[in-house]
C-alpha cells in the first residue's frame, strides 16, 4: 500500500526535482543534504505536516515556481 512514508522514502522525487517540480520529502537526515526546507523543497515529519505542505504548494503557484527553480 502506498502511503506518504513509502513515497517519501524512495528516490522517485529526483527526476521530478530535476525537471523543476517542487517536492515534499520525509524529514530524514539523508534528505537534508539535498533539501533546504522551504527553499528548494519541503521536509515533512509526519502525515499532518505532509498534508499541510502539499496544501501550501497547491494553493500557491508562486511557491511552486520558486521551489521548482
pLDDT, tens digit, for every residue of 18-68?
Answer: 777 788 888 877 778 888 888 888 999 888 998 999 999 999 999 998 988
Taking the C-alpha atoms of residue 34 and residue 32, their distance in angstroms, rounded to an integer, is 5
Rounded alpha-carbon distances, angstroms, from residue 19 to 1, 16, 52, 64: 27, 5, 23, 12
Q: 0.75 cut: is pTM over it?
A: no
- Higher local confidence (pLDDT), 30 or 7: 30
SS (H, E, C) 40-64: CEEEECCHHHHHHHHHHHHHCHHHH
Phi-psi domain of 41 (left: phi exceeds 0; alpha: psi -120 through 50; beta: other): left
Taking the C-alpha atoms of residue 41 and residue 7, their distance in angstroms, rounded to an integer, is 15
- Higher local confidence (pLDDT), 12 or 51: 51
Amino acid at each position: 500500500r502506498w502511503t506518504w512514508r513509502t513515497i517519501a522514502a524512495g528516490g522517485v522525487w529526483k527526476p521530478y526535482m530535476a525537471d523543476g517540480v517542487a517536492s515534499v520529502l520525509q524529514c530524514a537526515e539523508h534528505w537534508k543534504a539535498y533539501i533546504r526546507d522551504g527553499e528548494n523543497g519541503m521536509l515533512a515529519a509526519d502525515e499532518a505536516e505532509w498534508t499541510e505542505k502539499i496544501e501550501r504548494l497547491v494553493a500557491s503557484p508562486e511557491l511552486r515556481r520558486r521551489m521548482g527553480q
